[in-house]
Structure 1
Amino acid sequence: MAGRVYVNNQKAYKAGQQIRADVQIYIKKTLDYVSRGGTKLFHALKTFGISTAGLTALDVGASTGGFTDCLIQNKAGKVYALDVGHGQMDYRLSLDQRVYLM
């Protein structure tokens, strides 16, 4: 679990956790990227002090585009998003002129 679900102000640790009907459930803020992969890449870029500004990048196994999203939000010039699957890329990213789907 991503640690975003709370039951009565307590973090839920199991997806199959049974709860009563009268409890308060809320989901902590949405992700900054289209998948958790983007969050992981962001932390790596930050930890190692890597700037992607103006760079051309290749996202191998792009899927929904978490890495691609992170790179674009961090000012990459172009991202070639490569995947064997079709129709998986986030729609917003698929329309971005800096993203080249392959």
Structure 2
Amino acid sequence: MRTTNLLQITIASLLILLMQGSPGIASSENSWDQFRADVVSKCRLAANVSEDVLIEVDPFGSENFGLAVIYSVDGKSVCVYDKVTKKVELGSSLIGPLQ
């Protein structure tokens, strides 16, 4: 009986630990803020736009890329930021909605 209780407690403890996840794996809010600032900075530089041009950033991007939309006098364009190399690529100006 005592062995069964110990086994149940051990299994329950392991399940709780697994559900909590590993704090070392999750990124901190500060890291995500830095990521977003880097996306904006690199996209702004690549697009050669001033500080007053609006750049909207996907807060976390995709698994491999940061994503942003640049709103300039030339229209809207997409900026893609490689999370590994930290290089950006710009798309051409977006066209309006297609019917």
Q: Normalising by the residue count of structure 2, what TM-score does the alignment of the two structures yield? A: 0.20
Give the structure with the higher percent helix. Answer: 2
Q: Which is bigger in relative contact order (C-alpha 8 A, separation at least 6)?
A: 1
